[in-house]
Amino acid sequence: MDAHTLLTDIFRLTAPQKAALKKLGIATVHDLLWHFPTRYDEGGSETSVSALSLGMDATIIGVLEKLETKKSWKRRVPVSEGYVRDATGRIKCMWFNQPYIAKMWQDGTRVKATGKVTGGEGKLYLANPHLERAGAAESGLFEQVGSEPKSYQLEAKSSLFAVYPESAGVTSLWMRHAIAKLLATDIPAHIEDPIPAHILSTYHLPNIHDALIYAHTPRSHKDALAARKRFAFEEVFFIQLERQRTRALEARERSFVIDTPREDVDDFIGTFGFSLTSAQGRAIDTILADMQKGAPMSRLLEGDVGSGKTAVAASAAFAVVSQRPEGQRSGALQVAYMAPTEILAKQHFESFIHLFDDHPMPIGLITGSGCYKFPSKVARDKATKISRAQLLKWVANGEIGIVIGTHALIQESVQFKHLALVIIDEQHRFGTSQRRTLARKEARLPHLLSMTATPIPRTLALTVYGDLDLAILDEMPQGRKPIMTEVVEPKKREAAYARMREQLQAGRQAYVICPRIDEPDPEKAFAIQAKSVKEEAKRLKKDVFPEFQIDIVHSKMTPAEKDSVMKRFAEHEIDILVATSVVEVGVNVPNATVMMIEGAERFGLAQLHQLRGRIVRSAHQAYCFVVAESRGERTRARLKALTTAKNGFELAELDLRERGAGELRGGRQWGISDIGMEALENLKLVEAARREAIAIIKKDESLSSFPSLALALSQRAASFHFE
């Protein structure tokens, strides 16, 4: 039995447990040991059965009695029942949905039982108590000695226990028991530490064996913290190693030397109809210098929505398609441009056609719902719909220089003749490996330009983009009117509505963003209810804006319903669109220049910033009203940052500082686990992991002198593939 043993070989698992573990991606002993608690609960004070009262968190040391499994008639769920007896009496214990407890433990075992004292039909019981074998040395405070209870001064002792993310099928308690069982075997002792010893000692990190025990069964918060720090470091270190290894490998590959004369590029830029911001100018300089070197470029262009990334991408694309393939008198090098959605791909296609107005160039668009080519044979200034087969043929023989698409681009059998540049817009987990897929049989690796407006803090960028060099657009185009953002007190909502009305009457449109979709939950009648899309839309129509067209869009609608609403909004049949934040209002509606965000304190600042980015799509002044439900000073101060911060990245840093890495969670879009995300609160830790990874790769790229590290990395890669 070792860390790779399947759990099914060790535990008798029920079908729901198997399903739940599979969903969590847990198959082996290793997987389970690396499944970390979300928090640690204080066990409560140790006390006697006679002193228990309703609602207490208590720990009782005593002997188990009368364990059995029952089916609860009311809830039809299996229940383990039993008693813990100490010198003062016995208390019933009930474990709902956990029939195995009665099988795992035996009557007569001395245990420490920790749980909440719950009442039912006049009787008290411990609900889902955590059981731990009480050592012989661990005398209970109310141990039976002879027939007389020993009397002690009550001294509160507390114990910590791990709480795991609950998921249907496996409870936190099951996790605790199963992991404790694994930790008691000799498996942990045989797990080789993948982190080299010198790194552990430099950063005072516990070794793998201690860290596993501390993480799952800590004696103190300090132990737990040390362990979590180690595993957080470990994950960031692994990611950095992968990225640095990719980087080292790619640095040795050859790419296309792009040396289109600078005057030609400037001439192209001169036709845009605006002058570049200096940030755009610097980014283009950097990119051209990268592509001239012959080694593949790997660069990330980071800039807020509206900072003008497309113009930078087009300039890079122009430099590439202006170049003939080496040793050839005709044809051109090619560019692939990938966008996250069909709508965006279409928008880029149109922007490119426009930007290449005076330098006509065949441009293709490939999406799931059709292919287009520009220019059309009949009308030189129009795009035509063509068959996929025809487009693919022209891409393969090199006739179409620029191909724009969704990831249909890599999934389909698109073959390029001379693919020299891959541009990727807003696809965080895409990058170097996608470039390789696109390159296919190319002897040379294309250059890569990845672009993002997603505001993330520096530690996260350093980690996920460890293989990319950075270029930043930290400046907005001139003449762009900054959004007027205002934090509105709930009682001053009327004034904000008045300003909204002015804009609506002037012909503009508005979004109202609410945190929830549905009607209030009557069971939570007394809790503060966030505004809901459906209710707010009704209220606005009835009480505030009866003269305007109001409609809603949210994630529970079908794609067809959403499309139809968005289309009507784009055509100005709707004046006010009430929506949730999750719904992708990816459509560009330049005339929508007003946004009111309700329940704003429920969102992260970076998220609020992205939301309001939707109303800066035209020359009209944009207004954003941010309404918080809570009157707290802190909330107001936090939201005020929206009016002072220079860009989204600054807001992302603030989120991280004030709300912790939890704010960044939600989906594994970054390919980092929750414990890895904890590292992102610590810039020093992330920098250390990066530094050490760079040092190791520099010394030993193949990791041949770090076998356990190499193994851990390949397993990590395999498990991500599995995802």
- Return residues touching ligand ADP (CB under 6 A): 274, 276-277, 280, 303, 305-311, 453, 477-478
Sheet holding 592-597, edge to edge: 484-488, 623-627, 592-597, 509-513, 576-579, 550-553
Other CB atoms within 10 A of residue 350 CB: 15
DSSP annotation string for 424-484: EES-TT-SHHHHHHHHTT-SSPPEEEEEE-----HHHHHHHTTTSEEEEE-SPPTTPPPPE
Helix (H) / strand (E) element for 527: namely: none
Q: How far is the CB of 350 from ligand ADP (least distance, A)?
A: 11
Handedness of CA 214, 217, 220, 222 (dihedral sign): positive
The smaller minimum CB distance to ligand ADP, of residues 160 and 279, is found at 279
Give CA–CA dist 161/219, Å, rounded.
Answer: 9
Q: How far is the CB of 425 from ligand ADP (least distance, A)?
A: 8
**Residue 473: which of 287, 597, 637 has the closest Cα?**
287
Q: How far is the CB of 303 from ligand ADP (least distance, A)?
A: 5
The smaller minimum CB distance to ligand ADP, of residues 477 and 660, is found at 477
The smaller minimum CB distance to ligand ADP, of residues 308 and 431, is found at 308
Q: How far is the CB of 617 from ligand ADP (least distance, A)?
A: 8
Select the residue whose beta carbon is closest to ligand ADP and give its number: 308
The smaller minimum CB distance to ligand ADP, of residues 375 and 477, is found at 477
The smaller minimum CB distance to ligand ADP, of residues 276 and 615, is found at 276
> How would you classify the pairing of strands 89-96 and 78-86?
antiparallel
Q: How far is the CB of 317 from ligand ADP (least distance, A)?
A: 13
Residue 453, sorted as left (phi over 0), alpha (psi -120 to 50) or beta, turns out to be alpha
Q: How far is the CB of 657 from ligand ADP (least distance, A)?
A: 26
The smaller minimum CB distance to ligand ADP, of residues 306 and 520, is found at 306
Q: How far is the CB of 347 from ligand ADP (least distance, A)?
A: 8
Tokens 């309700």 correspond to what residue? 598
Give CA–CA dist 331/419, Å, rounded.
Answer: 12
Two structure tokens written together for 362: 């065949």
The smaller minimum CB distance to ligand ADP, of residues 165 and 477, is found at 477
Q: How far is the CB of 158 from ligand ADP (least distance, A)?
A: 53
The smaller minimum CB distance to ligand ADP, of residues 25 and 306, is found at 306
Classify burial at 328, counting beta carbons within 10 Å of its beta carbon; exposed 0-12, middle 13-18, buried 19 or more.
Answer: exposed
The smaller minimum CB distance to ligand ADP, of residues 281 and 660, is found at 281
Classify burial at 423, counting beta carbons within 10 Å of its beta carbon; exposed 0-12, middle 13-18, buried 19 or more.
Answer: buried
Residues 6+ apart with CB under 8 A from 262: 288
The smaller minimum CB distance to ligand ADP, of residues 206 and 308, is found at 308
Q: How far is the CB of 650 from ligand ADP (least distance, A)?
A: 17
Handedness of CA 319, 321, 324, 330 (dihedral sign): negative
Opening angle at CA 164, ends 159 and 168, nearest 5: 135
Give CA–CA dist 319/331, Å, rounded.
Answer: 14
The amino acid sitting at 69 is T
Q: How far is the CB of 469 from ligand ADP (least distance, A)?
A: 18
Other CB atoms within 10 A of residue 627 CB: 22
Q: How far is the CB of 713 from ligand ADP (least distance, A)?
A: 35
The smaller minimum CB distance to ligand ADP, of residues 307 and 334, is found at 307
Provide the H-helix boundaries in 593-706: 605-612, 633-644, 648-659, 674-678, 683-699
